[in-house]
């Protein structure tokens, strides 16, 4: 009997894992945004001194991992962690796999599109709560130049973007989870299900993901018995401004009022009055750098005590798009409590 399950979607962790180290690194556009001062490392350009954008993204993930490990007091090489859980948006999650090659620890490669950050935290938390690990390193990344040319058009092409289009975040976030220590704890994990609301436009990912976000938030609150106001902040991953507004309307249809304690990471990263990012940010790094670079620090400062991180993912593929398929989406939630 799965005694830790409290519903179809949610697991209550009996020994809640602790976040003992976290780090966020970000690109030049992100550094110029309102949260730029919170990131642990920023880069002046998209190449980061590497010979390709893909290698630059790999370097970002490694930098984030090393910084998170340092914060956790882990300095050995290879690092003293039981598992490395990582994912990105590139074909065959090449950023994660090459980073795993460099870290040289047991690895699970994960793919949930932009929901991968919460997916990694949830899987890592369950490994620790289940007694299978003492320390787990979780990491995700995305890069504007690598993702745009894989899923849409190379940035050099200069294609015109629709108002609801999003700007892929350049950055990486990493977290070290442990069985004990000082820091916020992961208390609940809510696993989303794949939904399809008929969106087929690869530029309109906020609309594709908003229903999945609301589905997961509703499941989490129903199964835990909590309310929206229980959390100081409920934050979705990368719906950006258009998707965030849609999520608020869809939640209202379920009698959920997402009010002042709700926001979206993709809407928080950039200054929309002076940065040309259209609807806002997207990508694995969207939820990761906001959570690791800003929200966890707000918890350490005592400004936030309970947050629900709901990373959202548009499960599109260039192949399925070319075959005329819709864009399915998913969202995973983790509850962080100080």
Identify the pLDDT of residue 158: 52
Dmax over Cα atoms in the chain, in whole Å? Answer: 55
Residues 337 and 185 sit within 8 Å (Cβ to Cβ) = yes
pLDDT for 53 equals 95
For residue 136, what pLDDT is reported? 98
Taking the C-alpha atoms of residue 153 and residue 157, their distance in angstroms, rounded to an integer, is: 7
Q: Across the strands, what pairs with 117? A: none
Which pLDDT score, from 0 to 100, does residue 278 have? 79
pTM (whole model) above 0.85: yes
State which H helix or E strand residue 243 sits in.
helix 240-252
The pLDDT, as a whole number, for residue 87 is 98
The reported pLDDT for the residue numbered 38 is: 98
d(CA 281, CA 276): 11
Cα(197)–Cα(181) distance, rounded to whole angstroms?
Answer: 42
- CATH number for the region 10-178 comes to 3.40.47.40
Same fold, 10-178 and 185-337: yes
Residue ranges in the chain modelled with pLDDT below 70: 1, 150-164
Question: How far apart (Å, rounded) are the C-alpha atoms in residues 274 and 243?
Answer: 20
pLDDT of residue 279: 82
Instruction: Indicate the domain borders of the chain.
Output: 10-178, 185-337
DSSP 8-class letter at 17: -
Q: How far is CA 200 from the centre of its chain?
A: 23
Q: State the pLDDT at residue 325.
A: 93
* Domain 185-337: which CATH number of 3.40.50.150, 3.90.1720.10, 1.10.3720.10, 3.40.47.40: 3.40.47.40
Which residue pairs from 158-161 have beta carbons closer than 8 angstroms and sit at least 24 positions apart in sequence?
Answer: 161/203, 161/278
The H-or-E segment that residue 101 falls in is helix 94-103
């Amino acid at each position: 009997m799965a005694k830790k399950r409290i519903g179809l979607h949610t697991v209550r962790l009996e020994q809640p894992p602790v976040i003992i180290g976290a780090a966020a690194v970000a690109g030049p556009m992100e550094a110029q945004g309102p949260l730029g001062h919170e990131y642990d490392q920023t880069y002046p350009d998209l190449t980061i001194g590497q010979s390709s954008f893909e290698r630059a993204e790999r370097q970002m993930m490694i930098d984030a991992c090393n910084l998170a490990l340092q914060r956790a007091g882990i300095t050995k090489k290879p690092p003293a962690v039981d598992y490395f859980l990582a994912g990105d948006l590139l074909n065959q999650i090449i950023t994660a796999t090459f980073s795993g090659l460099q870290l040289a620890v047991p690895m699970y490669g994960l793919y949930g599109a932009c929901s991968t950050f919460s997916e990694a935290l949830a899987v890592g938390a369950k490994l620790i709560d289940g007694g299978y690990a003492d320390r787990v390193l979780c990491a995700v990344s995305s890069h504007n130049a690598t993702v745009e040319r894989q899923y849409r058009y190379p940035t050099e092409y200069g294609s015109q973007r629709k108002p609801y289009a999003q700007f892929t975040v350049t950055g990486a976030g990493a977290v070290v989870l442990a069985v004990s220590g000082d820091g916020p704890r992961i208390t609940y994990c809510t696993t989303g299900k794949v939904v399809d609301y008929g969106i087929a436009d690869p530029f309109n990912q906020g609309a594709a993901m908003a229903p999945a976000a609301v589905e997961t938030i509703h499941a989490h609150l129903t199964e835990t018995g909590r309310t929206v106001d229980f959390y100081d902040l409920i934050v979705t991953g990368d719906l950006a401004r258009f998707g965030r507004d849609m999520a608020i309307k869809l939640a209202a249809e379920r009698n959920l009022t997402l009010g002042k304690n709700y926001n979206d990471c993709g809407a928080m990263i950039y200054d929309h009055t002076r940065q040309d990012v259209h609807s806002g940010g997207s990508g694995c790094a969207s939820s990761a750098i906001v959570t690791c670079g800003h929200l966890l620090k707000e918890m350490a400062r005592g400004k936030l005590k309970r947050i629900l991180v709901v990373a959202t993912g548009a499960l599109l593929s260039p192949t399925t798009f070319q075959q005329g398929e819709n864009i399915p989406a998913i969202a995973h939630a983790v509850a962080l409590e100080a």
